[in-house]
Structure 1
């Protein structure tokens, strides 16, 4: 009977520890989602809207690639070429045309994440899938895929 009581006590301790670990993991995941949300809203959307390539570039890891299609045509650029394009176009802010950035979904698994977002600007309605990696404690875009949903 004594062995049985010890076994029950051990099982209780182990399962309680697992619950605590799961709670910590959930809290960390929520913190990561908030950090990614902040980066998308305050660097990605704001950088695109204002044409601020320094701010926008701060969320990209060097060497990031951008793939997709725009108006049915294949699209590929390095992050440097993408930022150069942003730099050399009139910003949505300066154009006076509507701009709307919306986060649709963020999924985090350990040190990687994917954000699905929608960006309406000029005559485009982009659906972006941004792949993030947590590098040195900071969430950075390591890949961008986009498609133009406009008709």
Structure 2
């Protein structure tokens, strides 16, 4: 009986972990679309990661708060060659999710300009798909 309870608990834990991994993987797909799109100047890939009405709260020299829509943000890459690596290196640092909401943190390094940004994301699962509903970014002191 004791072995059966242990086995049941182990299976429950395993299925729970698998479920969480699946959701985390789905969140990673969304974040990677943004990171890869912004690293390769792919406007469609960038916007695909966002809820269309999301707000992006960004850092800009001499401006305390710079707010853009996903489309406005993607347009910052329009004069660069689509698909060509542009020097931005993105890395997911953390993901936390509960049911249909998630938070995430990523670093964006631009070595050629000696710049590192930290991005914080708020995500929501909408119609079975994870979307970034808000993003805030800050430029780290160099």
TM-score bin, normalised by smaller chain: 0.7 to 0.9
Which of the numbers 32, 48, 51 marks the counterpart of 1:61?
51
Aligned residues: 137
Give the match's secondary structure for 1:125: strand
Residue 25 of structure 2 corresponds to which residue in structure 1? 34
Q: What CA deviation, in whole Å up to 9, does each residue of 1:70-100 have, x standing for no partner?
A: 346322112221122222x436975x76331
Residue 120 of structure 2 corresponds to which residue in structure 1? 129
TM-score normalised over the length of structure 2: 0.78
After superposition, residues 18-33 of structure 1 pair within 5 angstroms as: 23-33=14-24
Distance 2:28 2:11 in 1: 26
Distance 1:31 1:138 in 2: 12
Structure 1 residue ranges (4+ consecutive) displaced by more than 4 angstroms after TM superposition: 16-23, 91-94
Bigger fraction of residues in helix: 1
Which of the numbers 113, 117, 137 marks the counterpart of 2:102?
113
TM-score normalised over the length of structure 1: 0.74
Contact 2:125/2:131 (<8 A) preserved: yes
Q: What CA deviation, in whole Å up to 9, does each residue of 1:85-134 have, x standing for no partner?
A: 222x436975x763311111000111111110001125231100111111
Gaps of at least 5 residues in structure 2 are: none
From the CA coordinates, give the structure whose radius of gyration is larger.
Answer: 1
